[in-house]
Structure formats: structure tokens, C-alpha cells
Amino acid sequence: MSDEELFNYKTFKEINEIPESIREVIGNISRIREIVDELNNKGVNELYYIGCGSSHYVAMGSALPLLIHSTVKTIVAPASEFIFYHLNNRYESRRAVIAFSRSGSTAEILSAMRQAKEKGYITIGITCTRDSPILKLTDYSILAEKCYEESYVMTKSFVTMQLAGLLLSLYKISDYHERVEDIVEESTKLPVAVEEILNNKQQYYKLAKETLEKNAFIFLGTSITMPAAFEASLKFKEMTHSFTEALHALEFRHGPVALASKSKEVALFILTPSDKSADKVIKLYNELINKGFNVKLVTNIENYKNKNQLYINWSGHVYYSSLLFIIPLYLVAFYRTILKGHNPDKPKGLVKIVKAF
């Protein structure tokens, strides 16, 4: 099937539109900075990042700068868990909740934001849908219309909303990190990096074909790449109806390594950026190869550029790893879905918007 034919699938088309949607967010950087200035002026010192499904993983990736480089209290939670356990009536701190929702109509998100407003939280909504309820409900909003998707599965919206949230977090840590402006500037290189990833479609198709008979997929990451690992696991579930799991990389040695007896049935993907975790994660990769596992690296480590791995040509900041590393896995999942005879645009049992809570 040619690329021209594949563009009849909305999912394939939308994955290929990621560079354009990234450029839209970059064009809104001044708006994002204005929102952070407002939060700072209001003395916000407690932040909650929430979402549902893929949007929860968007929240995880967005909050990384605050979780790693800030003294600002930052919590990431599914919207339902935020409602169950984090909403309260304490007013000794200024709190804001940042909600990610492709549609801006998800039931848990809307319930969370209404209750948060009632309790005095500052509310921020990040969405892809014009005229969605979240835009009217929140104090501040970021609308990225070019990441709107017709497909049921989230792909470009995951990347785009995560970039918007990540830029917001970067500006929030500017008091703690002297290189924030440089890191923000690096975002302008992302569209070209994504286009290069998209140019390797034959490699992703080949990998989907090679692993077609695998019964299970496991995605391993570090704190930096876990949002992408969780998202990849979800996409393989949604689109290909396969059993999947996502784990922190070195945690695989603490129990799951027992799956070595089933290694021929399992495909592993290790998402490892070129950072201080790399040496230990590569050691794990070699151990798993020796135990007979089928393992692929998704990495920007230069040594693996020509070793039949899913190499990502990115020398910019590690914070952008999650939104780059997921893209080849989206395409592997897409091709696997097609090869298995499923509809990638509307997987069985999946609804586009969950409207009941």
C-alpha cells in the first residue's frame, strides 16, 4: 500500500501533520509566557497537571521541568484521581490546575475544573477544539486548532498539547534554571526533527511486519521518556488490540525479567535518551539481548545511529524526548493495525469522547 493510499486513513494523515501543529504552538509562545506571568503575579506556588488517557500522559510530559528543576509543589494525576484525592478547602497556598483535553469536553476534566474553580484554584485549559466547554470554563486557555483530530486515537494532539504544556512549565521554572530561554528556542528545531523521523516510514513498516506475530509488547522508559512509553503502550492496546505494558527501565529487572522464559513471544522497546541514565539503560539492553529478548532501542544516542535501532536525530534538550520518541512508535502501531486488518481510525470499543462521570 502506497503512502498516497495510506493517507486515506485519518490516523496516518494526522501523524504526518505533526510538524505543522508544532509550528502553531511555537507561534503561540508569547501567549504561553503571558499566562505564566499571570500565575507568577498571583503568587501561584502549587500546580496540578491533569488529563485522561493519553492526555494524562501529556500532563506527565508537560510537568517534567517542574518535577525535576523546581521547588514549586507539582502533582500530576488523572482527572478522576485529582477529584478523589487532591481537591480540598485549604487556602494557605495559591493553586492552579492545568487540564489537557483534546476535545475539551471530557466528563472528568469538566467536573474537575468546575470543582477546582469553586474551591479557588486558578484554572488553565489546553485543548485542540474551538468552542469546547473547557475554553469557557477556565481562567486561561491555550487553543491549538491544528492538532484537532478526526480519528478516535490521539497522535498529533499528544505531541502538540505536550509541547504547549512543556513550554508553560519551562517558563514557570525560569527563576530556577538560567537556560530556559535557550531551551525554549530549541523548540523551533522540532518540526525539522519530526520531518526526519517521518521520512523513515519503511523502517517502521518493516518492524511492524517483523513483530506481527508477537503476543505482547513492553515499553521501558526513564522519568524523561515514561510519558511516551505509557502512550505507546496505550496506542498498541487501542489500535492493535495487543497486550502491552509500560515500566520504568531498570524496574524490569525486579520481577518482569522472569518473562525470559517467554522471550520469543514478547517484543520490547526501550526509550532511552542521551542523558545520565543512558549507560545503565544500555547495560540493561545488552542484558536483555543476551537473555533472548527481542529488543529495539528508541534513542538519540549517537552510537546507535546506524545499528538498525529507531534512532532519533535530536541533540537538543532532553525535555523534548518524550514528544519525539513516540512518533516512530505511532507509525509501528499504525502499520501493525493495518497488517492485522483492523481500522486504525475507529478501533473497536473505543469512543472519541467519554461524556459520563
Looking only at the bridges linking them, the beta strands covering 94-101 and 122-127 are: parallel
Query: Do 144 and 79 belong together in one domain?
Result: yes
Q: Which of 188, 212, 234 is the last residue of a domain?
A: 188
Q: How many Å separate Cα 59 from the centre of its chain?
A: 8
What integer pLDDT is reported at residue 306 of this predicted model?
Answer: 83
Mention every residue, 6+ apart, whose C-beta is less than 8 A from residue 134: 99, 101, 104, 105, 109, 110, 113, 125, 127, 141
Query: Do 183 and 232 belong together in one domain?
Result: no
Query: Do 180 and 279 belong together in one domain?
Result: no
Query: Do 277 and 293 belong together in one domain?
Result: yes
What integer pLDDT is reported at residue 11 of this predicted model?
Answer: 96
Query: Do 59 and 198 belong together in one domain?
Result: no
Residue 357 domain-assigned (yes or no): no
Mention every residue, 6+ apart, whose C-beta is less than 8 A from residue 292: 260, 263, 264
Query: Do 246 and 260 belong together in one domain?
Result: yes
Which has the closest alpha carbon to 69: 178, 199, 214, 220? 178
Residue ranges of the chain with pLDDT lower than 50? none
Residue 348 domain-assigned (yes or no): no
What integer pLDDT is reported at residue 325 of this predicted model?
Answer: 98
Query: Do 158 and 175 belong together in one domain?
Result: yes
Residue 243 domain-assigned (yes or no): yes
Query: Do 67 and 213 belong together in one domain?
Result: no
Q: Are 127 and 105 in contact (CB under 8 A)?
A: no
What integer pLDDT is reported at residue 192 of this predicted model?
Answer: 98
Residue 83 domain-assigned (yes or no): yes
What integer pLDDT is reported at residue 3 of this predicted model?
Answer: 74
CATH number for the domain that contains residue 52: 3.40.50.10490
What integer pLDDT is reported at residue 239 of this predicted model?
Answer: 94
Q: Which of 155, 188, 221 is the last residue of a domain?
A: 188
Number of domains in the chain: 2
Query: Do 206 and 180 belong together in one domain?
Result: no
What integer pLDDT is reported at residue 268 of this predicted model?
Answer: 96
pLDDT in tens, 189-224: 999 999 999 999 999 999 999 999 998 999 999 999
Query: Do 42 and 181 belong together in one domain?
Result: yes
Measured distance CA(222)–CA(274) in Å, rounded: 11
Mention every residue, 6+ apart, whose C-beta is less than 8 A from residue 332: 204, 207, 208, 211
pLDDT in tens, 1-16: 777 788 899 999 999 9
Query: Do 184 and 224 belong together in one domain?
Result: no
Range of the domain at 287: 194-339
Query: Do 143 and 173 belong together in one domain?
Result: yes
Q: In this structure, what C-alpha cell is assigned to residue 193?
A: 526533527
What integer pLDDT is reported at residue 90 of this predicted model?
Answer: 63
